[in-house]
Amino acid sequence: MIDRTTHARCEFHETAVLYVLGSLDPEASVAFQEHLQDGCDDCQEELQEARETVAEIDQAAALDELEGPLPEDPTPRPDGLLRNRLLRRVEKEAQAGSESSPNEASEELPPGISIVAQSTEGWGPMGFEGIDWKILAVDEERDFVTALIRMKPGASYPAHRHVAVEECYVLSGELHVGPQVMKTGDYQVAEKESVHPVQWTETGCTLFVTSSRSNEMLV
């Protein structure tokens, strides 16, 4: 039987990746910096892992650019494509941190372009105990959603069948997928008609996911 005993973590656990991505508001950012100065070893380690992950994303995106433009096929496939999306997300967060407000920035953007401004707001319950999410974008035509998913220690996501390709990138923490344990920086792709077993986390985790909204829940 799998041991799901949880470990006590400080209240700033999983804040490091949001700090590196620039997704914290100024007050939360200062609070995290002061917390680091107090000497939290766990958060120092999380911060280093987050910086290394973003550096790997930058390197992967640079290699993709050398290899040529992204494929025109809108179906998400290789992990390089997801990493490019995540890199664009980081760039947009940085742009949103300028002095102009999100509304003012949106008025200056070309039609069809939108920015999700940096903020700790926007999180809400996903419908499963211990799991919250923040929707970044919805593709109504393809019935796809792109979101950040935050799972508390001990939380689990039910088994489900995929009606389209699903991608998942671990931003922080650990995620158990069958016999495998995904860690910060790990990526998975689930093909159409594949079945995900129950996924759960012992430590808690934050995920970047793009998936169909019509997956079949097997509960």
Q: What does the block give as tokens for 166? A: 């699903």
Q: What domains are there in the chain, each with its CATH number?
A: 15-217 (2.60.120.10)
- Which has more confidence, 191 or 63? 191
pLDDT value at residue 50: 76
Q: How far is CA 3 from CA 64, 116, 154, 186, in A?
A: 40, 38, 10, 22
Q: How far apart are CA 94 and CA 100, in angstroms?
A: 12
| Rounded mean pLDDT, 135-159 | 94
Q: What does the block give as tokens for 77? A: 């496939």
pLDDT value at residue 51: 79
- pLDDT tens, residue by residue, 118-137: 667 789 999 999 999 999 99
Q: How far apart are CA 169 and CA 63, in angstroms?
A: 19
End-to-end CA distance of the chain: 20
Phi, psi of 121 (to 5 degrees): -85, 175
Report whether pLDDT(177) > 60: yes
- pLDDT tens, residue by residue, 79-88: 455 555 555 5
**Could you tell me the pTM of the whole model?**
0.54
pLDDT value at residue 173: 95
The percent of residues in the chain predicted with pLDDT above 90, rounded, is 41
- pLDDT tens, residue by residue, 18-76: 777 766 677 777 777 888 888 888 788 888 887 777 676 666 555 555 555 545 444 44
pLDDT value at residue 109: 80
pLDDT value at residue 73: 45
Q: Are 16 and 46 in contact (CB under 8 A)?
A: yes
Q: How far apart are CA 83 and CA 203, in angstroms?
A: 24
- Which has more confidence, 58 or 216? 216
pLDDT value at residue 198: 94
Instruction: Please report which confidence band the pLDDT of residue 156 belongs to, taking 50, 70 and 90 as the band edges.
Output: very high
- pLDDT tens, residue by residue, 86-103: 555 555 544 554 444 445
Give the type of residue at 190.
A
Instruction: Please report which confidence band the pLDDT of residue 176 belongs to, taking 50, 70 and 90 as the band edges.
Output: very high
